[in-house]
Amino acid sequence: MHLSTSIWVWIAAFFTLAIFSFLYKDNPFYRFAESVFVGSSAAFAFLNLWFFDVKPKLWDPIAKGNILYVIIPLILSILMLTRFIPKIKWLSRWAIAFTVGMGAGLGITGMIQGYLVPQLKGTFLPLWVPGNLATTVNNWLLVFGTIFTITYFYFSKPIKGKFGVAAKIGIIFIMVAFGASFGYTIMARVSLLIGRVYFLLHTWLGMV
Amino acid sequence: MKREIPLLITFIAGFLIVVALFIPHPPFNKIEETFNSWYIIVAGFTFILGIDSLILHNWEKIRRRSEGWPFALTVILSFFITLIWGIVSGVRTGHIFSTNSTFRNYFYLYIYVPLQATMFAILSFFIASAAYRAFRARTLNATLLLLTASIVMLGRVPLGNVALIPVISIAVLMLLWVLVDELKYVTSPTQRLIYIGIAVVAVVAAFPITKFLYHNLSPVTDWIMNVPQMAAKRGLFIGLALGGIAVSLRIILGIEQSYMS
């Protein structure tokens, strides 16, 4: 055993153990660590936003004297802050409207380019592959699995009869997908857990 | 005026971005690029509204001395300490993530990362408890979820096929236990026969299934991920895309106006 002599490693170990202590029950150590996490995460997100987005795109052009280039986003950003002044609060709607409009526009283009077209393209598969039964079966499963899954989410018609059978097959595919996602989520969390335990045993206590 | 101008701004911003997708030539590609840059800046300022809400909520708790107010104070203090530390370090070194930035080398590595990683790590215990509730294989759907999750987890780790043997043994024992338990409440002889049949099939099939999976766990996992899982994900993604497009169109056309309130 070789205990770490770094104060920062001890701080990290304290926070790690404080959060793990919640597994026993809620306690002041956990709540302290949780509060530090909430406060510092908010500040960290703000700093990230400033140093990665706002500074290079707004502050740096202003500092270089190119204020005209960013005058419109600057005005919109200031309008966003009018929410703090009740009398002219309604002006913040202009800035919010711009972000909502952009979000909607990017939502459409993102959905078309990122999801709809690639997924539809991937589903157009040959249902008969000569000399390759396995691929043929897999293609059938892929094409009809996709159709049946969509059927399950079609709520404009009562789910019964032949339509109901298709929706029931769809739910089988959905359960397999959820099971796989669940398995991956558990694995991701367990790998984090292993990382923290390794930090305690190796970096802090020097046992392994 | 108070409603019409925001609706017009939403329409123009959304419409031009969609047009730029179909006509990626000047002036539309240039407009899209400029709008994207503006969007990042303006959206960044919305974060200030969120911060204001966090600070005010906690400040109110401190002012009223309500239960747990020292933790509200901790939230505010840690927020400002982190903020000041980041600004000072960022100004001194040029960026918060410079290699010689104390913010990166101490706050990020020894406070933020341990807090975040441990917070997510403890979820593995709660997921295990949730899994116990979700995976009680009472229905076909729950059984499928259980089987897929188990195979995917074991198929993606070293020596997963070795761990499969006790897992399947326990699963079969649990199934037998459930069947025996249910048998107590079954009165019809046909139903009893079905239950006994399932138990016999489970015991008889367990060995060949275990043997097959022991030798083919990785290909089976790949097949699950590439075929049935992929089919469902495609269906979900297509549905998600259609829903997202519909909502976005409603916003651009001014039918959906809840963001104005």
pLDDT at B135: 62
- Is B6 close to A50, i.e. CB distance below 8 A? no
CA-CA distance, A114 to A36, in Å (whole number)? 37
pLDDT at B171: 79
What digits encode the pLDDT tens for the residues B154-184?
998 888 888 888 888 887 888 788 788 878 8
Domain that holds residue A137: 130-208
Closest by Cβ to A115, choosing from B121, B226, B240: B240
- Total domain count, chain A: 1
| Residue at B49 is within a domain | no
- Is B111 close to A15, i.e. CB distance below 8 A? yes
CA-CA distance, A156 to A10, in Å (whole number)? 59
CA-CA distance, B108 to B114, in Å (whole number)? 9
**Minimal CA separation from A130 to chain B, in Å:** 19
Which residue positions in chain B have pLDDT lower than 50? none
Query: Predicted confidence band at A156 (pLDDT cuts at 50, 70, 90)?
Result: confident
pLDDT at B160: 86
The residue that leads in pLDDT, A67 or A1, is: A67
CA-CA distance, A80 to A74, in Å (whole number)? 10
Instruction: Give percent of chain A above pLDDT 70.
Output: 100
Residue among B251, B37, B254 nearest A72 (CA): B37
- Is B74 close to A99, i.e. CB distance below 8 A? no
Size of chain B in residues: 261
Average pLDDT, chain A: 93
Amino acid at B245: I
| Residue at B67 is within a domain | no
Residue A62 token pair: 């202003």
Q: Is the pLDDT of residue A166 over 70?
A: yes
Q: Is the pLDDT of residue A155 over 90?
A: no
Q: Who contacts A180 (Cβ-Cβ below 8 Å, separation ≥6)?
A: B148, B149, B152, B224, B225, B229
Closest by Cβ to A101, choosing from B12, B87, B149: B12
**Minimal CA separation from B224 to chain A, in Å:** 8
Closest by Cβ to B117, choosing from A106, A186, A195: A195
- Total domain count, chain B: 1
Domain that holds residue B146: 125-226
- The interface predicted TM-score (ipTM) is 0.84
Residue B204: Cβ within 10 Å count:
10
| Residue at B220 is within a domain | yes
| Residue at B133 is within a domain | yes
DSSP state of A82: G
Least reliable range by pLDDT among A116-120, A159-163, A179-183, B15-19: A159-163
| Residue at A34 is within a domain | no
Burial class (CB in 10 A: 0-12, 13-18, 19+), B216: middle
CA-CA distance, B29 to B31, in Å (whole number)? 5
Contacts A–B by Cβ distance under 8 A: 379
pLDDT at A158: 86
Asked if the C-beta of B15 comes within 8 angstroms of chain A's C-beta atoms, the answer is yes
Torsion angle in degrees (nearest 10) through CA of B108, B111, B116, B121: 130
| Residue at A174 is within a domain | yes
Taking CA atoms, B139 is separated from A9, A182, B13, B146, B176, in Å, by 48, 18, 49, 11, 15
| Residue at B234 is within a domain | no
| Residue at B116 is within a domain | no
| Residue at B165 is within a domain | yes
| Residue at B81 is within a domain | no
CA-CA distance, A78 to B152, in Å (whole number)? 50
pLDDT at B176: 85
Q: Which residue has the tokens 């956990």?
A: A30
Q: How far is CA B228 from the centre of its chain?
A: 20
